[in-house]
Chain A
Amino acid sequence: AAGVIQSPRHLIKEKRETATLKCYPIPRHDTVYWYQQGPGQDPQFLISFYEKMQSDKGSIPDRFSAQQFSDYHSELNMSSLELGDSALYFCASRRIGLTSEETQYFGPGTRLLVL
């Protein structure tokens, strides 16, 4: 079965640089979630999109922005990178149906290291 695809899998950047992370949801999934998992920490919700519109926002810095495109893939843009942005960034996708009984499926993550 097709899974969530994230690219790149690993990324090394310098402080103050920018980074773009991409997420391709499972086919027919219309909702994308972004989570950040710092070293030794639990995943923290950043932002979500449903049908190309932002549906919820969590602890996402103003330096970050994201969007969902017409093909439902999503991109997380990160500017003015800081050392503390080093983390594993997960994307998850879900299909909104008539009930709430749909599960989020996670991608393999993008490991970002800011030097």
Chain B
Amino acid sequence: AQSVSQHNHHVILSEAASLELGCNYSYGGTVNLFWYVQYPGQHLQLLLKYFSGDPLVKGIKGFEAEFIKSKFSFNLRKPSVQWSDTAEYFCAVSASPSSYKLIFGSGTRLLVRP
């Protein structure tokens, strides 16, 4: 069965610090990978996605992620975080040919101190 593991459950950073959130998945076949962000009280918004091609993908708000197939990883990065990045971040994978349902990681709560 597919699964997604996010290593950091809570991260606290100061503004301008660099961010890297880890994500590993388990699935032997071709996967689609996503990072979603959920601001307090809001719905899930797509940050970025990887389907194929360049393993370094750029998303909105200065976020990027790198797909490393050999490590089954899709880590999220941002060079300099802002207070407005305070949110919960979910890594997700879809791979089912029947529906492409999303399997989510447990999420990482990021708090950025001003």
The interface stretch among B15-23, B75-83, B96-104 is: B96-104
* Complex CA–CA separation, A102 to B32 (angstroms): 10
Q: Are B90 and A100 in contact, with the CB atoms below 8 A?
A: no
* Complex CA–CA separation, A42 to B105 (angstroms): 7
Question: Does any Cβ of A come within 8 Å of B43's Cβ?
Answer: yes
Interface range on chain A (Cβ under 8 Å from partner): 20 to 34
Question: Does any Cβ of A come within 8 Å of B11's Cβ?
Answer: no
Q: Are B101 and A58 in contact, with the CB atoms below 8 A?
A: yes
Question: Does any Cβ of B come within 8 Å of A25's Cβ?
Answer: no
Q: Are B42 and A108 in contact, with the CB atoms below 8 A?
A: yes
Chain B residue numbers with a CB within 8 Å of A45 are 101-103
* Complex CA–CA separation, A108 to B43 (angstroms): 5
* Complex CA–CA separation, A21 to B50 (angstroms): 31
Chain B residue numbers with a CB within 8 Å of A109 are 43
Q: Are A33 and B42 in contact, with the CB atoms below 8 A?
A: no
Nearest-CB residue, chain A, relative to B90? A42
The answer, among B51, B52, B102, B105, for a CB contact under 8 Å with A104, is B102
Nearest-CB residue, chain B, relative to A101? B51
Show 16 A/B contacts (Cβ-Cβ < 8 Å), sorted by A. A31-B99, A33-B99, A33-B101, A35-B102, A42-B105, A42-B106, A45-B102, A45-B103, A48-B99, A56-B98, A92-B44, A100-B51, A101-B32, A106-B36, A106-B43, A108-B43
Additional pairs, 14, CB under 8 Å, beyond known A45-B103, A50-B99, A90-B43: A31-B99, A33-B101, A35-B102, A42-B106, A42-B107, A43-B44, A43-B90, A56-B99, A92-B102, A101-B32, A103-B34, A104-B100, A106-B36, A109-B43
Which A residues are closer than 8 A to B by beta carbons? 31, 33, 35, 41-45, 48, 50, 55-56, 58, 90, 92, 94, 99-109
